């Protein structure tokens, strides 16, 4: 997993769920209350979307959204755009905005991490912002005309390095691309994000541990969503993000941030073979 962005993270953990939602089934955080805060140390991985040294083939760097000026060779500008040169291409439009071509391609760093059906990535190191736009089209589910099949949009992989069951948390910040929705006229309020944590049992078997689904609302500001659980020591874990669309709808979801945190053991020097609480 050397191509992932890897950091040592210090996390202040409050005993409340993201966005005010109740804990999902199977979660046990009874010892954490909204009046108790503790700091955790762990490993945090994210997609290296704006690291030009990790740019995959099929993508190019531009200084502008309209692909008029290429990025200078061997340099990383403070502001730039990544656009796919190859991939699937769609034409959508409305009577107001006219036709718009959408070209998408995956950014993949092996099986451990990828960003699927990406249309553009906007990187701004001055503002420390990333906006990764992904194309998601309704895919027929089990019930024709109903809720669509979830489409996998992104994945991160990490490892639990602890002596006891440790906190594992996947977080994502996302929003609708409102300009895209206005141009194609197909976005609906029934689009949702599905966040899933899975663990590797035995190669190549992965077992789902927990999933949560959140509605993605048109016109809403950037929202933060999370899924968390505790996993056994030495467990390999994946964080996957899916988008589900309603019948005959499309969506361009903008991912602003995507992270997978796994709590690490900090050795207790006063007790041999123990970790700090």
What's residue 224's pLDDT?
A: 93
What's residue 259's pLDDT?
A: 94
Which residues, in sequence order, are bridge partners of residue 180?
Answer: none
What's residue 109's pLDDT?
A: 86
- Residue for token pair 């991939």: 87
Listed residue (91, 133, 140) closest to 246, CA to CA = 140
What's residue 10's pLDDT?
A: 52
What's the CA gap between 159 and 168, in Å, rounded?
9
**CA-to-CA separations, 46 to 30, 85, 89, 97, 165, in angstroms, rounded:** 29, 24, 27, 35, 22
What's residue 15's pLDDT?
A: 37
What's the CA gap between 228 and 171, in Å, rounded?
9
**DSSP 8-state symbol, 15:** S
What's the CA gap between 171 and 130, in Å, rounded?
15
What's residue 228's pLDDT?
A: 96
What's residue 18's pLDDT?
A: 37
CB 75 within 8 A of CB 48: no
Burial class (CB in 10 A: 0-12, 13-18, 19+), 95: exposed
pLDDT tens-digit series, residues 15-55: 333 333 333 333 433 333 333 345 778 889 999 899 998 88
Residues of the chain with pLDDT under 50: 1-3, 12-37, 94-97
Task: Give the CA angle between residues 40, 255, 176 to the nearest 5°.
Answer: 130
CB 107 within 8 A of CB 87: no
What's the CA gap between 97 and 166, in Å, rounded?
50
Per-residue b/e over 186-211, b at no fewer than 16 CB within 10 Å? bbbebbbbbbbbbbeeeeeeeeebbb
What would the two tokens of residue 3 be? Answer: 């191509």
Q: Record the pTM.
A: 0.79
User: What does the H/E/C string look like for 112-176?
Assistant: CEEEEEEEEEEEECCCCEEEEEEEEECCCCCCCCCCCCCEEEEEEEEECCCCCCEEEEEEEEEEE
Per-residue b/e over 243-253, b at no fewer than 16 CB within 10 Å? bbbbeebbbbb
């Amino acid at each position: 997993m050397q191509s992932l962005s890897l950091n040592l993270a210090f996390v202040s953990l409050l005993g409340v769920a993201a966005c005010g939602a109740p804990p999902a089934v199977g979660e046990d955080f009874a010892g954490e209350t909204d009046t108790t805060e503790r700091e955790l140390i762990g490993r945090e991985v994210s997609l290296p979307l704006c690291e030009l040294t990790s740019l995959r083939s099929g993508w190019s760097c531009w200084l502008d959204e309209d692909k008029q000026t290429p990025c200078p060779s061997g340099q990383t500008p403070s502001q730039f755009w990544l656009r796919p040169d190859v991939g699937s291409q769609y034409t959508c439009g409305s009577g107001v905005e006219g036709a718009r071509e959408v070209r998408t391609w995956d950014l993949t760093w092996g099986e451990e991490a990828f960003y699927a059906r990406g249309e553009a990535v906007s990187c701004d190191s001055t503002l420390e912002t990333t906006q990764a736009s992904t194309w998601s089209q309704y895919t027929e589910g089990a019930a024709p005309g109903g809720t669509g099949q979830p489409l996998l949009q992104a994945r991160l992989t990490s490892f639990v390095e602890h002596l006891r069951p440790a906190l594992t948390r996947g977080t994502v910040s996302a929003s609708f691309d409102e300009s895209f929705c206005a141009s194609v006229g197909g976005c609906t309020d029934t689009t949702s994000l599905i966040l899933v944590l899975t663990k590797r049992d035995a190669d190549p078997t992965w077992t789902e541990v927990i999933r949560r689904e959140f509605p993605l609302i048109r016109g809403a500001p950037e929202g933060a969503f999370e899924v968390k659980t505790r996993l056994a020591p030495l467990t390999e874990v994946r964080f996957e993000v899916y988008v589900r669309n309603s019948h005959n709808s499309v969506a361009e979801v903008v991912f602003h941030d995507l992270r997978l945190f796994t709590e690490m053991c900090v050795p207790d020097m006063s007790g041999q073979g123990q970790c700090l609480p």
